[in-house]
Structures are given as C-alpha cells and as structure tokens.
C-alpha cells in the first residue's frame, strides 16, 4: 500500500481530475455497453417471439 490515507488516494498527487476522469469514463462506458447488450438480448427475444407468432397465424390461415 503506497497511500497514507484515502484523501491522498483520491487526490492522485494533484492529477485526480485526469486520472479519475479516465478511469471513470472507461468504467462507465464498459458498464453502459453491458446494459445495452442485455437490453438488446431482450429486444432480440421479443423479435423472435413476434416472428414466431406471425408464422403461427399464417399457418392457421393456410389451414383454414
């Protein structure tokens, strides 16, 4: 451990804004991408379900 206390850690020797601005945006964008992906999976599943539902009704029409 190289820091005397947490204040020193967050201050980063005066470079706090630059260091945390870098780490923060990196972490934020990575988290955002994971969130987008999870949402995209739900959307994909919904798209599949509706395609299946359409296929089913068409089949019924054809039988009738």
Reference 11, options 1, 27, 24, 19; nearest CA is: 19
With contacts defined by CB under 8 A, how many residues of the chain interact with another protein? 35
| Distance in angstroms (rounded) separating the CA atoms of residues 64 and 57 | 10
Closest CA to 13 of 27, 28, 2: 2
Q: Is 18 in the site for another protein (CB under 8 A)?
A: yes
Under the criterion CB under 8 A, does residue 31 sit at the interface with another protein? no
Residue 49 found at the interface with another protein (CB under 8 A): yes
Q: Which residues bind another protein (CB under 8 A)?
A: 1-3, 9, 12-15, 17-19, 21-23, 25-26, 29-30, 33-34, 37, 40-42, 44-53, 55
């Amino acid at each position: 451990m190289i820091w005397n206390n947490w204040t020193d850690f967050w201050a980063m020797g005066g470079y706090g804004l630059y260091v945390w601005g870098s780490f923060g945006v990196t972490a934020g964008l990575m988290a955002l991408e994971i969130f987008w992906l999870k949402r995209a999976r739900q959307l994909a599943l919904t798209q599949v379900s509706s395609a299946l539902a359409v296929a089913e009704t068409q089949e019924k029409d054809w039988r009738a």
